Amino acid sequence: MAKIYIASSWKNQHGVEMLTEELRDHGHNVVSWIENNYGENHNHVTKKFDFETWVNSAESDQSFDFDVNGAATCNIFIYYAPSGKDAAAECGICYGQRFFSKTIPMIALWSKGEDFGLMRKMFDYFCQRHYEVVPLVNQIEKEFLNPSKVKK
């Protein structure tokens, strides 16, 4: 089974959680940065915190390592728009694996008004609606990923 990583912003927390649940309900393995980061008290959408204090903490180091590893080692990458700089960096980390002979299929769940610029060329697939994602992931797993080579 493929390992799926979803890059997005905390402002999309509920949507990412719903997409994660939908993918899991269809038997997919989703590595969740949201679940990883529960309890760190740094969700700037719903909590007030000093970002500079948090970003220099051991908790942020653990989150950084988890996110970078998720983007670099997944088998399918989903960008959930609109997002910010961190998710864009994760897209670059994933795409950069192609320079090391590892092509990770990249899906963009696009939103109206998304301004990703020229770098949108990183994405192999574009979905306009959330319900398009699961069938596409199923297709990618079936056609492009050899189950015997996919790490769990």
The domains found in the chain, sorted by start residue, are 3-114+123-143 (3.40.50)
Q: What is the share, in percent, of the chain residues with pLDDT greater than 90?
A: 67
CA–CA separation, 49 vs 128, rounded Å?
34
This model's pTM is above 0.85? yes
Helix, coil or strand: residue 26: coil
Which 8-state DSSP code applies to residue 112?
T
Measured torsion, CA atoms of residues 23, 20, 79, 148, in degrees rounded to the nearest 10:
-50
Q: Which residue has the tokens 């008004």?
A: 113
pLDDT digits (tens, 9 = 90+) for 39-58: 555 454 445 568 888 889 88
Q: What is the pLDDT of residue 54?
A: 81
Handedness of CA 62, 3, 46, 83 (dihedral sign): positive
Q: What is the pLDDT of residue 45?
A: 46
Q: Which residue has the higher pLDDT, 55 or 115?
A: 55
Q: How many CB atoms lie under 10 A from the CB of residue 110?
A: 18
